[in-house]
Every structure is written in C-alpha cells, then in structure tokens.
Amino acid sequence: MFSPGFILLLILAYFIVLISISYFTSRKDDNLTFFKANNSSPWYLVAFGMVGASLSGVTFISVPGWVGDSGFTYFQVVIGYLAGYFIVAFVLLPIYYKQNLTSIYEYLAERFGPKSHKIGAFSFFISRILGASFRLFLVAIVMQQFIFDTWNVPFEITVIISIFLIWVYTHRGGIKTIVWTDTLQTLLMILAVIFSLFFITQSLGFEGLEFLNSDEMKKYTHIFVMDDFLARNHFVKSFLGGVFITICMTGLDQDMMQKNLTCRSLKDAQKNMVVFSFVMVFVTFLFLLLGALIFIYAEKNQIAIPLLDGTPKTDLLFPEIALSGSLGITVGVVFILGLIAAAYSSADSALTSLTTSFCVDFVKMDKHSESDQKKIRKRTHIGMSLILIIVVIAFKHILDRNVIDGLLTAASYTYGPLLGLFAFGIFTPYKVQDAKVVWVVLASIGLIFLIGNLPKALLGGYEIGYELLPLNGLITFLGLILIRRK
C-alpha cells in the first residue's frame, strides 16, 4: 500500500507543474484572455484536451466500477454520444461562430429576449454546478479514503484543499490556461488506463489481447440490450439518451463550448469536435475493458468491494486495487496522476465557465468600466469556488447511487429546458412571450420529476431511463408553442 505521504507529495508535484503552465499562459491577465483565450487556440490541442474534460474523474473511476453491475451496456450510451457530437459540430457551432458569442446563452437573448436568456443561463448554472460537484465529490472521497483519513483530516478540509488548488492555477489565465493544462491532463489519463490494462493483464497471466476471448471476460462484455424494451438500459433508450446528453452536456453547455469558441475559425472548431468524438469513444471503451479486468482481478485475489460509510462502493474498487501495491509502483503512480488529471481537467474548466456565464449573462459585465470588469471577474471566480465547496460537501450526505448514473440522471432535469429553448429557437420562426418562459421551464421540470419517480408497476413494468432528457426538452418545446407570439 502506498503511504498517504507519498501520494500527497505526488499530487503536490503535479500541481506545481500546473501552476507553472498557468504562469506562462496568463502573463496577460485580461478578460479576453480569461474568457476566449484571444481566439488563438490550436484546434488539435482543444480536441485532445476536451477528451479529459469530457471523461473526467467520473469516467476514470465510476465507469470501471459500474461494469460489475451492468457489463458493457454503458457503451450503448457512448454510441449515442458519437451521433450527438456530429449534431453539435454541424448544427450548433455555426450558430455560435456566426454571432461571435462569449456566452452561448446570449443567443437566447437575441432570439427571444432577456428573460429567456436568464433562464437558459440559470439552467446551465445549476447543471454545471451539479456536474462539477459530482466529479469533484468522487475524487475527494478517494483522496479522503487513501490519504486524509489516515491523518484524521475531515472530508470538508479535503474538499476545500482540492478546490483551492484549482482556483490557484485558473484565476489569472482562465480558459487559455485550461486549453494547455487539459492537454497534459488528458495525456496522463490515457497513459494511466493503458498502463493499468497492461499490468493487470500481465498479473492475470494473459498474453497480449487474449483476455478478450477469455471466459472470465465474457461475463462482462455484453453490450446490447435488445430483448426487453421495458428495461431501463434498452438500446433504443440508451442510444437516444446518449445523443441528447451530448447535445445538452456538450453543445448547450458553456463549459464545453467555451473551449471550442477559442479556436481560430468555425472550420477549426468543427475539426476539433469530429476528431475529439472518435477519440472519446475509443478511450471510453478502454475504460470498460479496464472495469471488467478489475472485477476479474478482484475475484481471483479475493479483494472485497471497499465500503463507504458501511455500504459497498464499486467506485472505490479501482483505487483499492491500484493503490494496494500488488500491481507494482508504476500502476499506483499512474493511477494517482490519471485520477487527479481526469478530475481536475473537468473541474477547472467548470469553474472558469461558471465564472464566464455569471459575468456575461447575469452581471452584464460589458456595461461596467474596464477596471471594474476585472474586479468583478476575480470576485466571481472566488464565489464560484465557494459554491462548489458547499455542494460537494452536501453530496457526501445525500448521494446514494453510482456517481455516473447520478450525474446523467441529474442532467435529465437540468439540461432539458436548454434543449427545448434552443430547439425552438433553431427550428421554428416564432418568437415567444418572454416573461412566461420561466413558467414553462418550471412546469416542464415539475412534470419530469413526477414522471421520473413513477413506480414501474404503474407503467406496466416499463423502467424510465435517460429518455427523461429528450422528454423534458419536448415538454419545454410544446410549452413554448403555447406561449408563442402570433
């Protein structure tokens, strides 16, 4: 087992590298650099860095942990992601570039009015706080279990330290720094999964890729669920859910789109999105393979699933094996680096995008003097950090499911209104009664909450899954039709 002191030193060394990158990318500490990286980011760097930001610590730990319960069925959702990325690249990006947006929710202001702008930005605000907090929570509990519990450091202090370190290297350069740090972090994450695959297969006695045809692997590699449409993870529901999750959590998300908007041109941004989508799918499949091998390894070596507050937590199985030392120091080191890289490559951009959205969409920073704009940005950055700390700590007491499942379920409620608003704006010529948009959105969320909590016995055995997200968007869309202007 790696000592907590060794793990902590490794993390600190990693952050020194990130802070060094921040120093060289943030010499010009102005708002254009922070928000748009001066529109100078090479598309291939953005594409590679977005892999880490999209996968995050949730994929790094929770996807392998989920394989024990669901096999490879999550890959059905990933196939849907691929289709969704093409829609983002060739439908949404042209709109954002044509209007030269800093915040993508400015589109709603021009299309419908200020109330629609605010409700769209607020939907993102809640969505991104929850998403970033889910991801940070997962990493924080791993650090707590393997480092800070040994020293009796409270979980709350672990969270504060984690978010403070993110603030340190993002508070000056913003998105320009993140484009470069995400590239490093994605590289470390991919190396971590490749090294882990190699050493676990060696330990299990497999040569090359022969583990793919082993009887042990066949227990987990079932992908497609076609026989029972009532099942929550049926292919059609999973695929369509993946498509709409991508459209919303990437294409309608300021966090992900802010990186794309730093590219030199629309063509570069589209190349970035297409390349990124294929790399993303490939890397996710590697994580599924890793998950199967982890469960095979645990069964052969009689390693129990770790407990969190007395409850078995499959999310902690990969850390337990990687940090036990039984696979050698290389796996432990690359796991630690891969974990923190995966976690912070999404959390740092979330913090920056939340700051951007609040400054542009709510404060209307362009109406203030240049000197005040910088002060507003810096204060907002600190405020967003404090909000993330509070929400992550709250999750420790309320989260009761696999983290990635919880993340995608939460997205069904919070991103649905954005889907309906943007779809109505893009595909219809109508205006709306702007003041009534908030009531349509609240009604849609309320209906989706009721539908999502209906017992399956009441629905003839039908289990509701990620189709809640497009359904939420559809209800919002239909509500907007009712309040359209003639």
Full residue range of the structural domain in which residue 351 is found:
4-413
Q: Is residue 481 part of a domain?
A: no
The token duo for 218 is 């066949």
φ/ψ of residue 41, rounded to 5: -80, 130
Q: What is the CATH number of the domain that holds 279?
A: 1.20.1730.10
461 within domain boundaries: no
Residue with tokens 């400054």: 359
Q: What are phi and psi of 206, to 5 degrees?
A: -85, 145
What is the rounded CA–CA span in Å between residue 444 and residue 438? Answer: 10
The answer as to whether 250 is a domain residue is yes
Report yes or no on 160 lying in a domain.
yes
CB-count burial class (<10 Å; 0-12, 13-18, 19+) for 413: buried
In Å, how far from its chain's centre is CA 321? 24
Residue 486 lies inside a defined structural domain of this protein: no
∠ Cα 150 151 157 (to 5°): 110
Minimal CA–CA distance to 443: which of 483, 484, 398, 409?
483
Helix (H) or strand (E) holding 308, with range, is strand 307-308
Round to whole Å and give the CA distance between 346 and 258: 13
133 in a structural domain = yes
Task: Please state, in angstroms and rounded to a whole number, the distance separating the CA atoms of residues 278 and 47.
Answer: 10
352 and 258 Cβ atoms separated by less than 8 Å: yes
CA dist., res. 15 & res. 18, Å (int): 5
Total domains, the chain: 1
Q: What are the distances in angstroms from CA 184 to CA 3, 179, 181, 239, 310?
A: 25, 9, 5, 31, 36
pLDDT tens for the chain, 486 residues: list them. 567 778 778 888 888 888 888 777 766 665 666 666 566 677 777 777 777 667 666 667 777 888 887 889 989 999 999 999 999 999 999 999 998 888 899 999 999 999 999 999 998 888 888 877 877 787 787 778 777 888 888 889 888 988 888 888 777 666 777 777 778 878 888 888 888 888 889 888 888 788 888 888 888 888 898 988 887 788 988 898 889 889 988 899 887 888 788 888 899 989 989 998 998 899 889 989 988 998 898 888 888 887 766 777 777 788 788 777 677 788 888 877 877 776 666 677 778 888 888 888 888 777 778 778 888 888 988 999 999 999 888 887 776 555 556 666 677 788 889 999 999 999 999 999 999 999 999 999 999 888 888 887 887 778 777 788 889 999 999 999 999 986
The span from the CA of 96 to the CA of 270, in Å, is: 12
In a domain, 453, yes or no: no
pTM metric for this prediction: 0.78
Location of structure tokens 């419908």? 112
Answer yes or no: is 457 within a domain.
Answer: no
Question: Which alpha helices (H) appear in 303-328, and where do they start and end?
Answer: 317-322
At which residue do the structure tokens 């497999």 appear?
206
Q: Where are the alpha helices (DSSP H) in 26-72?
A: 31-36, 43-57, 63-70
